[in-house]
Structure 1
Amino acid sequence: MPSGLFALLDDVATIAKVAAASIDDIGAAASKAGVKAAGVVIDDTAVTPRYLTGFTPNRELPIIWRIAKGSFKNKLIFILPVLLLLSALAQWAITPILMVGGAYLCFEGAEKVWHSLTAKDHPLEEDVALVADKNHEEEMVSGAIRTDFILSGEIMVIALNEVLSEPLGMRAATLAVVAIVITIAVYGVVGLIVKMDDIGLHMSKGGTGVGRAIGRGLVTAMPKLLAALATIGTAAMLWVGGQIVLHGLHDLHLANLSEPLEHFAEAVGGGLPVAGLWEWLINAGGAGIFGLLLGGIIVGALHLLPGRKKAAAH
C-alpha cells in the first residue's frame, strides 16, 4: 500500500514536471512570436489613438475599453479558430487571406489621405454636435474594431508561422497567450497615451516646481502628440498593408517587387552610418508608397461607384 502511494505521488510529480515544461514551452514560443510581431503591434498602438481624437475626456477610457473588448473577440473568437483550422487543413490559404487584409489596410490609409486633402473646415458648432452624437461614437468604435481585426490577423498569422511545426494544442495555447498579452499591452499603452494630458494637468496643480513644470509640458505636448500619432497611424496602415501585399505577391510567385526594394535598400543604406536603420527606413518607405498607390487605386475605383458618390455627397 505505501509503495502504491509512493508510486502514485511519483506519477503526479512527473505529470507536474511535464505540465511545467509545457507552460515554459508555451511561454517561450509566445515570447518568440510576440517579438516577430512587434512591428505590427507598434502599428496597432499608433493607429488606435486616431479613433479617439475629438471625444470628451470622460468618454476616452470607456471607448478604449470597448475597442479592447472587440480586439479580444477578434483574436480569440474569430481569428484563432480560423487560423488553427487553416493551419491544419489549408495552409496555402493563409497568404491570400493576408493579402486581402493588407489591401484593406492600404485602402483605409489612402482614404484617410484623400479625406485630409479634400476635407473642408467645419464650423465649431458642427464639430461639437458631432462629438456629442452617439452615432459618431458607434461609427468610430466600429471602425477601430474593423481595423484592429486586420492588424490582429497579421499579428496572429506572424505568431502562427513561428509555431507551425508544433502540435495543434501548442499552436492554440501559444496563439491564445499572444492574443491576450498583446491586446493588454496595446490598449494599456493607448489608454496611458490618451490620458497623459489629464495626468499632466493633475501634476501641474501640486507637488514640486519640477513636477508642475513637467505637468504643464505634458498638457501642452499631448494634443500635438495625438495629432502626430494620427498621422503615424495612417502611415503605419500604408506601410503594413503594402508590405503584406508585396510579400504575398512574392510568396505566390505573382510578382517579385519586394526583392528589388530590399536590394536597393541594402545598396543605399549599406554605405551609410547605422546601415540597418537606413535599410529599414527605405524598405518601410517603399512599402508605404506601394501601399498608397494600391490604396489610391481602390479608393478611386470605389469613388467611381454611383452609391459611393451619393454617400460621399452627404
Structure 2
Amino acid sequence: MSGGLFALLDDVAALARMAAASVDDVGAAASRASLKAAGVVVDDAAVTPQYVQGVAADRELPIIKRIAIGSLRNKLLLILPAALLLSQFLPWLLTPILMAGGAFLCFEGAEKIWGKLRGHAHAKEKQLATGPDAEKTLVSGAIRTDLILSAEIMVISLNEVADEPFLSRLAILVVVAIGITVLVYGVVALIVRMDDVGLSLAQRTSTTAQRVGNGLVRAMPGLLRGIAVVGTAAMLWVGGHILLVGADDLGLHGPYALVHHVEEAVHHVLGAVGGWLANTALSAVVGLVAGAVVVAAVHLVHTVRHRAGAGDS
C-alpha cells in the first residue's frame, strides 16, 4: 500500500515538474513574442494618453480601465481566434499579412514625420468627455484604434511561435494578450496620473516633496513628447524590419542580406550592441522609405479624388 502511495506521489511530482516546465516554456515563448512586438507596444502606449487629454481628472482612470477591457476583448475574442485559425489552416498567409501590417506601421511613422515637417502633426484633437454619451463615444473610438494596434501585436507574436503546437500557440498568445494589455494600460495610467501626483506633492510642506512635485509637473509635457518620438521611431524600425524579413521569406533576399552583412561587420568592431543598433538604424531607414512611398501614394489618391469631386460639382 505504502509502495503504491509513494509511486503515486512520485508520478504526481513528475507531472508537476512537467507542468512547471511547460509553464516556463510558455512564459519564455511569450516573452520572445512580446519583444518582437515592442515597437507596436510603445506606439500603443504613446497613442492612448491622447484620449484622456482634457478629460476631468476623476474620469481619467475609469476611461483607461474601459479602454483596457475593450483592448483585451479585441485580442482574446476577435483577433486570437482569427489568428489561430489562420495559422492552422492558411499559414502561408501570415507573411503577407505581417508585411501589410509592417507597411501600415511605416505609413503611420512617416505620416507623423511628414506632419511635423509641414508644421502641423495629424494628431487627434483633444476630446472633452463631459457626459456619459461623450465618454462612450471617446472610449469606442479608442477601442477601434486599439483594434488595429492589437491585431499587429498579435500577428507579430503569432509569427514568432507559428511552429509551436496548437495548444501551445493558444496558451502563449493568451499570455501575450493579457501581459501586454496590463503593461500598456498600467503604464498609461501612471503617465496620465503623474501630473496629479506632482501637484499633490507640490502642495506639501516638505521642501523635498515640493521640488519633486514641481519636477513631475514640469516633466510631463517633455515625457509625452519623448514617448511620441520613441513611438514613431519604433514604428519605423519594427515596420522596416518586418518588410525586410518578409521579403526574405518570399524569396527577395538582397535587402535583408545587405542589412545582415552590415550588422555582422559592425558587430565584429563594436560588439553585439553596435550590431543591433546598426540593424535597427537600417531597418528604420527602410521603414522611412517605404512609409514615404505609401504616404505619397495616399496623398496622391486623395488629391485625385478631391479634384474629381470638384470637377463633378
TM-score range, shorter chain: 0.7 to 0.9
- Once residues 200 and 182 of structure 1 are traced to their aligned partners in structure 2, the CA distance between those partners, rounded to angstroms, is 27
Give runs of aligned pairs for residues 154-303 of structure 1, distance below 5 A.
Answer: 154-158=156-160, 160-161=161-162, 164-165=163-164, 167-206=165-204, 208-254=206-252, 256-268=254-266, 270-272=268-270, 275-276=274-275, 278-303=277-302
Decide whether the 8 Å contact of 2:202 with 2:210 is kept in 1: yes
The residue aligned with 1:55 is 54
Q: CA deviation at 1:226?
A: 0.5
Q: CA deviation at 1:18?
A: 1.9
State the Cα RMSD in Å: 3.3
The residue aligned with 1:111 is 111
Which amino acid letter does the alignment assign opposite residue 73 of structure 2?
K
Which amino acid letter does the alignment assign opposite residue 79 of structure 2?
I
Q: CA deviation at 1:42?
A: 5.3
Which stretch shifts more, 168-177 or 282-291? 282-291
What is the DSSP-based 3-state SS (H/G/I as helix, E as strand, rest coil) of the residue aligned with 1:52? helix
Which amino acid letter does the alignment assign opposite residue 46 of structure 2?
P
Which stretch shifts more, 237-246 or 8-17? 8-17
Question: Which of 138, 141, 149 in structure 2 is aligned with 1:139?
Answer: 141
The residue aligned with 1:150 is 152
Which amino acid letter does the alignment assign opposite residue 202 of structure 2?
S
Which amino acid letter does the alignment assign opposite residue 255 of structure 2?
L
Between the two proteins, the alignment pairs up a number of residues equal to: 297
The residue aligned with 2:32 is 35
- Once residues 67 and 215 of structure 2 are traced to their aligned partners in structure 1, the CA distance between those partners, rounded to angstroms, is 29
Which stretch shifts more, 291-300 or 250-259? 291-300
Which amino acid letter does the alignment assign opposite residue 182 of structure 2?
I
CA shift in 2, pair 1:43/1:207, >3 Å = farther
1:169-221 CA distance string (max 9 Å, x none): 22222221222122212221222122222222222222643232122111100
Q: What TM-score do you get using the length of structure 2 for normalisation?
A: 0.78
Moved over 6 A (4+): 307-310
Decide whether the 8 Å contact of 1:30 with 1:177 is kept in 2: yes
Q: Percent identity?
A: 35
The residue aligned with 1:64 is 64
Which amino acid letter does the alignment assign opposite residue 289 of structure 2?
F
For structure 1, the residue ranges without an aligned partner over 5 or more in a row are 122-126
Q: CA deviation at 1:256?
A: 2.8
The residue aligned with 1:89 is 89
Which amino acid letter does the alignment assign opposite residue 60 of structure 2?
E
